[in-house]
Amino acid sequence: MIGFHSTTVSSPFFRAIAFFVLSIIVSACQKTDDSSENSVAQQNAIQAIAVTVAEAQSRVLNEPITVTGVLEAFKKATVAAEVTGRILHRHVEAGDSVSKGDALVTIDPKLLRQRDREMQANVASREVALASAKNELKRGRDLVEKAFISKDELENLEFAVQNAEAQLQAALAARASASESLRDTKVSAPFDGLVEGVHVQQGDYINPGSPVATVADFSRMRVRAGVTASQAQQFVIGAESRLAIEDAYGDEYVGKVHSVGRIADPATGTYPMEIWLDGEQVNSLRDGMVANITVVETTEQEVLMVPSAAVFRRDGEHRVFVVVDTDTGPQAQLRSIRAGRRTNQFTQVVSGLNAGELVVVDGQFALRDGASVTH
C-alpha cells in the first residue's frame, strides 16, 4: 500500500522565491493606483473650459455714462379741418412764421353762413312761440279763477309753455353750433411757430379731420431717450447734460434733464427720459437729429466694480461666474449678486462678491455651476 506524506519546505531557496513573487505583486498594485490617479487628472484637464477672468476691484465711480436720444421740436401739431367745404384761400407756405391765431387756410363759408342765418331765424321763431304760450297761460289763469275753463285745460297751457321753452333751448344750441362751424372755416395756427408743410391747395374739397398744415415750435427742443433702471438713477432732474450731435458737425450742446420716467416702455424695457434745450444753441438743430447724451458721476466714494461683460441675468437675478480653487483644480461657481449702477464698461456690485475674487468675463455661455475651468 502506497501512502502520501506532507513535507514542510523551509530551505532558504524556496523562501527567496516566495519573497520575489510577493514583491512583483505589490509593485503591480502600486503602478495600477498611480496610473488611475494620473488618468483622472488628465481627464479633468481635458474637460476644463478655457475662460477669461477679471478681478473684482474697488473703484471710484466717475466714468461718464452715455445714452442715445432723438431731438424733437418742442411743440408739433398737424392742424386738421373741423368742417366740410372747399378751400377758398391758402394763407401760408412752408417755412412761414406764424403767431397763435393766424389763419392758415380759409374754407368757403357760404353754405355755413346760410345755415347760421337759418338758425338765427329759428331762434327768433321759437322766442315768439314761447312768448305766445306764456300769454295764453296768463289768460288761462284768469279764466280758471272765473271758472270759465277747467284745471285740466290750465295744465295743458302750462305744458305748452314748457314745450316752447325746450324748443327755444334746442334752437339756441343749434344756432351756437352753426356759429361755431362758421368760425371754424378759418383754420388757425394753434401756437407760435414755423409752418413745416401745407397739405391742401386752393380749391380742394375737404372733410372734418382732413390735415391742413403742420406747425412746429423750435424756440426750444426736446431730446427723448430710453435709459436702464441703473442709468435712470444717475440722471438728476434739473442737472445739466452734455449732448454731442453728429449731424451738427459734432458740436457739443448743453441741456437740462426735465424728466425721467418711472414706468418702463413695454417694447424696449427702458425708462423714458426727456432733456430740454433752449437759447440760441437750438437755432441750427432739426427734428429727428440723433444726440449722444453724457452725464458724469462725480462721487469720490469707492465701490466694488466688475466688468459689465461678467454680469448676466438668469431667473430674474443678476449673476456672475466666480473662479475658485479646489483640490481638483479651478472651478466656476455660479453666484447671485445685487447689481448697482452701471457705466459703459463696469457694473457696481452692492453685495454677493468680495474684492479680489475672479469673475468670468468671456466664456460664460459654455459654463455650468461647478465646471472645471482654465484661465
Q: Under a CB-based contact definition with an 8 Å cutoff, are residues 218 and 289 in contact?
A: no
Last residue of a domain, one of 264, 296, 328: 296
With cut-offs at 50, 70 and 90, classify the pLDDT of residue 30.
low
Residue type, 128: V
With 70 as the cut, is the pLDDT of residue 15 above it?
no
Say how far apart CA 212 and CA 201 lie, in whole Å.
9
Report if residue 113 sits inside a domain: yes
Say how far apart CA 306 and CA 346 lie, in whole Å.
6
Average pLDDT of the segment spanning 298-327: 86
Strand pairing category for 211-227 and 64-80: antiparallel
> Comparing C-alpha atoms, which of 91, 96, 111 is closest to residue 200?
91
Report if residue 317 sits inside a domain: yes
With 80 as the cut, is the pLDDT of residue 37 above it?
no
- Please check whether residues 262 and 307 belong to one and the same domain: no
With 90 as the cut, is the pLDDT of residue 12 above it?
no
What's residue 363's pLDDT?
87
| Percent of the chain clearing pLDDT 70 (strictly above) | 84
Give the pLDDT confidence of 222-259 residue by residue, as tens digits.
999 998 887 787 788 888 888 988 777 767 899 999 99
Report if residue 40 sits inside a domain: no
Higher pLDDT, 267 or 321: 321
Tell how far CA 40 is from the center of its chain.
53
Say how far apart CA 127 and CA 177 lie, in whole Å.
18
Say how far apart CA 100 and CA 89 lie, in whole Å.
18
Number of Cβ within a 10 Å radius of residue 316:
5
What's residue 10's pLDDT?
45
> Comparing C-alpha atoms, which of 276, 275, 261 is closest to residue 229?
261
What's residue 3's pLDDT?
40
With 90 as the cut, is the pLDDT of residue 196 above it?
yes
With cut-offs at 50, 70 and 90, classify the pLDDT of residue 63.
low
Report if residue 44 sits inside a domain: no
- Please check whether residues 248 and 275 belong to one and the same domain: yes
With cut-offs at 50, 70 and 90, classify the pLDDT of residue 46.
low
Report if residue 1 sits inside a domain: no
Instruction: Residue 283: give its domain's CATH number.
Output: 2.40.30.170
What's residue 252's pLDDT?
86
- Please check whether residues 173 and 91 belong to one and the same domain: yes
Report if residue 234 sits inside a domain: yes
| Percent of the chain clearing pLDDT 90 (strictly above) | 58
Say how far apart CA 345 and CA 335 lie, in whole Å.
20
- Please check whether residues 104 and 155 belong to one and the same domain: yes
Higher pLDDT, 116 or 147: 116
Give the pLDDT confidence of 109-144 residue by residue, as tens digits.
999 999 999 999 999 999 999 999 999 888 888 887
Distances (CA, A) of 23 to 14, 17, 30: 15, 10, 11
H-run or E-run covering 28: helix 12-47
- Neighbour-count burial for 3-18, b at 16+ CB within 10 Å, e otherwise: eeeeeeeeeeeeeeee
Report if residue 333 sits inside a domain: yes
With cut-offs at 50, 70 and 90, classify the pLDDT of residue 353.
very high
Average pLDDT of the segment spanning 26-42: 49
What's residue 7's pLDDT?
40
Distances (CA, A) of 56 to 168, 251, 344, 350, 369: 83, 37, 16, 12, 19
Strand pairing category for 312-314 and 317-326: antiparallel
Higher pLDDT, 343 or 290: 290
Return the SS3 of 268.
Answer: coil
Higher pLDDT, 227 or 47: 227
- Please check whether residues 178 and 244 belong to one and the same domain: no
Q: How many domains does the chain have?
A: 3
- Please check whether residues 185 and 255 belong to one and the same domain: no
Task: Output the average pLDDT for the chain.
Answer: 85
What's residue 48's pLDDT?
86
DSSP conformation class of 48: P
Say how far apart CA 235 and CA 262 lie, in whole Å.
12
Number of Cβ within a 10 Å radius of residue 311:
20
Report if residue 184 sits inside a domain: yes
Terminal-to-terminal C-alpha distance of the chain: 83
Q: Under a CB-based contact definition with an 8 Å cutoff, are residues 135 and 161 in contact?
A: no
Which grid coordinates belong to 228? Answer: 436702464
With cut-offs at 50, 70 and 90, classify the pLDDT of residue 53.
very high
- Please check whether residues 183 and 243 belong to one and the same domain: no
Q: Under a CB-based contact definition with an 8 Å cutoff, are residues 268 and 102 in contact?
A: no
Structural domain span for residue 328: 49-61+300-374
The least confident of 25-29, 82-86, 253-257 is: 25-29
pTM of the complete model:
0.59
